[in-house]
């Protein structure tokens, strides 16, 4: 009589899954499967085996986009700004250094206790002598990273990785009005690619650099040029690691990005910073009006800002000058005009550091 009665819910009610839980379980399981597939591809590539391209279907892309990556990225950004107790800084940063192979000997401040939060640690500056800027070549790497692809732009398409392309116009957006640029453009009747080429005999070139989480997170000016215009595309924040870039066609056109366009001594020049998961924050040092990873946006929308109307000469940038930063790793895409004898000094898949040569005439 003294025993307490145990009230139990029906078995069906205990195991009832709510839609959100089901979504998390499905996406998490599928994400794990994709990671395993990426690992297998990496092992085959290391053995020199040619890996066939297998693109994601529309439903797979839709499933991936259903993950609230923008919300997660904002939450990650808030977490990064939380000040850590002094005693906890070294263990957390040491784990990150070990996981991603960070070389702290290059950091301007090597003492881990100096960085109050993860955000400061991610955006750490380097010693001045750690990245000497190559003077002999006209275009240098704007950041540390891995070369995913490079070469001439053909048929208005750019390769994000070997065999997987995206539309040049979708990536850069509609042609900028002639009045907003400080250089002439081809007649409107030509293809989008031809409209970007301003000098007869020139070609359009591209280079894609992937920044891993352990890389130096700032990016710099790749050459002497003048920034005339900024175009910001709000969008998804899907991962941009090489495995996903090989899987999702036009990945860079789906993701949030900031396109800087202008001119250098050979004509058109552009640098695009592409956002990714946990990289909702893209900062351009001279552009205080830029705000990325907003809570809401209209699909396919973009906003323009002209540096010509506010500064008649645009924003002059010197080769190697600080240009901006990511909150974590991401991708830089260069698209520029140059004479036909321009040569890249690169190999696909190679590691590169800021200041090293990309190519020259």
Angstrom distance (rounded) from CA 162 to CA 174: 25
- In the residue annotation, 119 being an active-site residue is answered as no
Angstrom distance (rounded) from CA 228 to CA 182: 7
The catalytic residue among 217, 220, 229, 254 is 220
Q: Which two tokens stand for residue 283?
A: 């900062």
Q: What is residue 233's three-state secondary structure?
A: strand
The catalytic residue among 138, 143, 228, 330 is 330
DSSP state of 85: P
Alpha helices for 173-280 (secondary structure H):
192-196, 242-247, 251-254
Q: Which two tokens stand for residue 5?
A: 């009665």
Report in angstroms the alpha-carbon separations of 176 from 56, 185, 188, 305, 338.
Answer: 32, 10, 11, 11, 20
- In the residue annotation, 345 being an active-site residue is answered as no
Give the max Cα distance, the chain.
Answer: 99
Question: What distance lies between CA 154 and its chain's CA centroid?
Answer: 22
- 58-65 vs 19-46: helix crossing angle, rounded to 10: 120
DSSP state of 263: E
DSSP state of 44: H
Angstrom distance (rounded) from CA 299 to CA 234: 8
Residues in a beta bridge with 218? 325
Cβ(253)–Cβ(300) under 8 Å? no
The catalytic residue among 73, 144, 215, 228 is 144
Residue (of 245, 216, 228) closest to 333 by Cα position: 245
- In the residue annotation, 301 being an active-site residue is answered as no
Angstrom distance (rounded) from CA 101 to CA 18: 40
Active site residues: 144, 220, 330
């Amino acid at each position: 009589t003294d025993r307490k009665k145990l009230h139990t819910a029906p078995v069906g009610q205990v195991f009832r899954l709510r839609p959100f839980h089901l979504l998390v379980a499905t996406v998490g399981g599928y994400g794990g499967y994709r990671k395993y597939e990426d690992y297998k591809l990496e092992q085959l590539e290391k053995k020199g085996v040619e890996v066939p391209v297998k693109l994601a279907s529309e439903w797979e892309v839709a499933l991936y986009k259903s993950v609230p990556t923008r919300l997660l990225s904002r939450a990650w950004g808030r977490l990064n700004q939380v000040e850590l107790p002094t005693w906890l800084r070294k263990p957390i940063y040491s784990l990150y250094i070990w996981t991603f192979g960070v070389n702290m000997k290059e950091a301007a401040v090597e003492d881990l206790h100096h960085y109050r939060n993860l955000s400061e640690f991610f955006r750490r500056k380097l010693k001045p002598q750690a990245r000497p800027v190559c003077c002999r070549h006209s275009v240098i790497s704007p950041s540390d990273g891995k070369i995913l692809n490079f070469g001439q732009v053909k048929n208005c398409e750019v390769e994000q990785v070997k065999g997987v392309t995206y539309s040049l116009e979708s990536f850069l957006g509609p042609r900028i009005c002639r009045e907003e640029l400080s250089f002439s453009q081809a007649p409107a009747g030509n293809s989008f690619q031809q409209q970007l080429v301003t000098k007869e005999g020139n070609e359009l070139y591209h280079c894609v650099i992937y920044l891993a989480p352990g890389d130096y997170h700032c990016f710099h000016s790749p050459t002497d040029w003048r920034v005339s215009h900024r175009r910001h595309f709000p969008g998804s924040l899907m991962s941009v690691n090489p495995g996903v870039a090989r899987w999702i066609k036009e990945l860079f056109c789906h993701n949030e990005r900031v396109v800087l366009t202008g001119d250098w001594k050979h004509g058109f020049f552009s640098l695009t910073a592409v956002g990714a998961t946990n990289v909702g924050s893209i900062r351009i040092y001279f552009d205080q009006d830029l705000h990325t990873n907003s809570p809401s946006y209209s699909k396919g929308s973009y906003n323009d800002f002209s540096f010509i109307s506010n500064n008649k000469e645009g924003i002059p940038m010197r080769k190697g000058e600080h240009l901006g930063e990511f909150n974590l790793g991401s991708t830089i895409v260069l698209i520029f005009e140059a004479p036909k004898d321009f040569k890249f000094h690169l190999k696909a898949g190679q590691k590169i550091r800021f200041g090293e040569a990309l190519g020259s005439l």
